[in-house]
Amino acid sequence: MTARTRARHRADVRPTTFLSATPGGRFARRGALATAAAGLTVAFAAPTASADTGHIVESGDTVSEIAAEQGTSVEAIAEANGLDSSATIYVGDELTIPDGTEGSIGSSSSSSSGETSTETETSTETSTESSTSSAVDIARQYVGTPYVYGGSTPSGFDCSGFTQYVFSQLGVELPRSSSEQLYAGTQISQSEAQPGDLVWWPGHVGIYTGDNQYIAAHSPGNPLSEREIFMSDPTFIRVA
């Protein structure tokens, strides 16, 4: 009698490729091919068993979506799983999700944008204050300079020559005469005036230093000085 031999069937196995044969198994493959790039759709491969806890990658998952759902960030997931920006995640991969809430990409971007906006506004305010304060600082360096009619240098100033010289040190070109300087900026009320604004009367101009004080080249025989505003109804001009 002829012996019957039971047919043997080859067990199903996952195809061996360069990626699955890489030493270290799934984690090595994931390190080489997992993606940290936001918005990249997962590729398809046979599920890989894992005892790790975390998120099991499903069809259509992206790292950015996983991060948003888990309340963390792409960067945190990438670091926890050894991912790099050139890799791809696979269906069935199990990603370790870091403990704690680090914020999703959307919230991070929004927060960053808000901080940048606040910093820009603060920087603009600081720049304006710095310009006006600098005008006063420069002006005070010339206290005691003699009054010279038509003078516009530190060897001697008249009133408009002095204001023109101070603002030129800040890169601001004022007209030469006091009558023209009346229209060199925006006229403001006395309550709005800040140190560094021009203070003007017909035939005379100086630089406001605050607390009802101003600095100017006053008249022949009176050297440049800082004193109280004594004339009525001054006009204040915001130049910068």
No. of H helices and E strands in the chain? 6, 10
Residue 99 neighbours by CB under 8 Å, 6+ apart: none
pTM above 0.85, yes or no: no
pLDDT in tens, 27-64: 334 443 344 444 444 444 444 444 445 888 888 788 88
Q: With cut-offs at 50, 70 and 90, classify the pLDDT of residue 76.
A: confident
For the domain covering 132-238, report its CATH number.
Answer: 3.90.1720.10
Specify whether the backbone of 48 is left (phi greater than 0), alpha (psi in -120 to 50) or beta: beta
Radius of gyration of the chain (CA): 37
Chain mean pLDDT for the chain: 74
Nearest to 88 by CA among 122, 40, 132: 40
pLDDT in tens, 177-191: 999 999 999 999 999
Span 71-82, average pLDDT: 82
Domain boundaries, the chain: 25-106, 132-238
The answer to whether the beta carbons of residues 52 and 29 sit under 8 Å apart is no
Strands lying side by side in the sheet with 186-188: 186-188, 235-238, 198-201, 204-210, 213-216, 225-228
* Half-sphere CA count of 104, side-chain side, radius 13 A: 13
pLDDT at 203 over 80: yes
Q: What pLDDT is attached to residue 103?
A: 39
pLDDT in tens, 130-152: 555 689 999 999 999 999 999 99
Q: How far apart are CA 234 and CA 207, in angstroms?
A: 12
Q: With cut-offs at 50, 70 and 90, classify the pLDDT of residue 88.
A: confident
